[in-house]
Every structure is written in structure tokens, then in C-alpha cells.
Amino acid sequence: MKKIIKIAHLYYDLLNLYGESGNVMALKKFIERVNIETEVHFLTIGDKIDFSKYDIFFIGEGSEENQELVIEDILKYKKDIKKAIDDEKVFIATGNSMEIFGKKIRKYSGIDIKCLDIFSYSAFEEKNRLVYEIVYTYDKLKNNKGNKFLGFKNCNCNITNNNDNRMFEYSDSFEYKNFYGMNFVGPVLIRNPYFTNYILEKVFNQKNIDVTLKDDTMEFVAYHNYIDNIIIKE
């Protein structure tokens, strides 16, 4: 039987700031380089989403207004999403979409917006927005030359009650089973190709696909040019 990796790009039209769609393009490209077929389904409000059909779910950054529209729609899928996460489906939530999976978002005005409440953290909106480049260390890749994780932050929320399941050393990330939430924006998976391979290896193992992912393409060259020539020298 032909093996196909199915990717769901959730709320692609509402949560797609800063080139977030590049992450889905990266997943597709990395998979197809090893001659495995992919299907990408673009899903949004009004679509019936079957969370049992897909291997990978991606959801990205959006404006505060669009985030609220998505929250209103996605709440009806809470049980389905929780089951998919518990079944170790891969979820990648970047930017402020990470907030949707927590308990609530406390707006600067004092208003609370109820979220999926799948995880225990909450987001608290601040008056000032933080915009900066950052490099974290991802310990799951500590024996790998790609363990430096490049991120770009553009946010005005702090994440609280997130002490036990952080991807990195700070609370702006969350990892549980194969759920990866990180408050970074832009094409994170293109910028961090070793992490992308790490995720895809999990998917391939689940599907009993025996392939070796590439680590010599332009994304890896760009990664090392940045890490080796800028970060390390500093």
C-alpha cells in the first residue's frame, strides 16, 4: 500500500502572518525529497475537520481579532483535538496559536477569553510588545549539531503555569508527546531543519516508513552559515 503523509493546515486563512505557510511548505518539501507522497489540506471556519485523518497538524500566528474567531470555532473540536494529541499525532503551534491550547487569554483590559483548556498554561496580555531574534537550545537534540533553535518573537503575552513541559528553558514554549508549541513567528521549520527532521522521523516511525531524511540541502547550509558564522563567533 502506498504511504502518504497527510498534513492539515488549520485556519490557514486566518492564522497566517509572517510567512507561517512556509512551515507547511517546508514539511511538504522535506517529505517529498525522500520520495514519500504528501497531501496538504487547508482547513478553516465552516469546514468539517476530522482529526483522525491527518498525521501532522500545523496552526500559526494571527492577529488578535482572527485568533478570537478561531477560538470560537475550534472549541467544538476540543475532545477530538485532545484525543489526537493523546494518540501522539504531531501538532505544531507557532506564534500566538500556542495560546489557544491553554486555559485562557487574559486581555490587558482584564477580559478573559476561554481557550481549549487542554494544557494548564494561560496567556496574559501585556501593554508592550516584544520584538527580537532569539536562540534557544533544544535538549532533545543535545547530541546533534542542530540543537540551537532559531526563533523570532513578536508578541505581547506572557505564558504562565508552564513549568514542567517546556520545549526550551523559558515559558514561551510547550511540549507534550508530539505537541510542539512555541511563541515564535515566521518560517520556523525552514530555519530549524534539524528539528523538522526530528519531527518527521516520528511521523515516519508511526507510519512504518523506513527512509533517511536529508541533511545536506540549502536549509541546512543556511542554518550553519547563521549558527557557525554569527552565533558561535559572538
Per-residue pLDDT, averaged over 171-180, amounts to: 94
Indicate which CATH number applies to the domain containing 144.
Answer: 3.40.50.880
> Which run of H or of E encompasses 193?
helix 193-206
| Domain that includes residue 85, residue range | 4-231
Residue 128 has what pLDDT? 85
CA dist., res. 116 & res. 91, Å (int): 14
Residue 234 has what pLDDT? 42
CA dist., res. 7 & res. 131, Å (int): 30
Residue 29 has pLDDT above 60, yes or no: yes
Residue 229 has pLDDT above 60, yes or no: yes
Per-residue pLDDT, averaged over 186-212, amounts to: 95
Least confident of 120-134, 188-202, 209-223: 120-134
Q: How many domains does the chain have?
A: 1
Residue 94 has pLDDT above 70, yes or no: yes
CA dist., res. 35 & res. 53, Å (int): 21
Residue 143 has what pLDDT? 65
Question: For the stretch 10-31, what's the b/e string if a residue is b when 16 or more beta carbons lie within 10 angstroms of its beta carbon?
Answer: bbbebbbbbebbbbbebbbbbb
Residue 113 has pLDDT above 80, yes or no: yes
Cα torsion 226, 228, 231, 234: sign = negative
| Cβ neighbours of residue 230 closer than 8 Å, sequence gap 6 or more | none
Residue showing cell 469546514: 47
Per-residue pLDDT, averaged over 168-192, amounts to: 93
Residue 228 has what pLDDT? 81
106: helix, strand or coil: strand
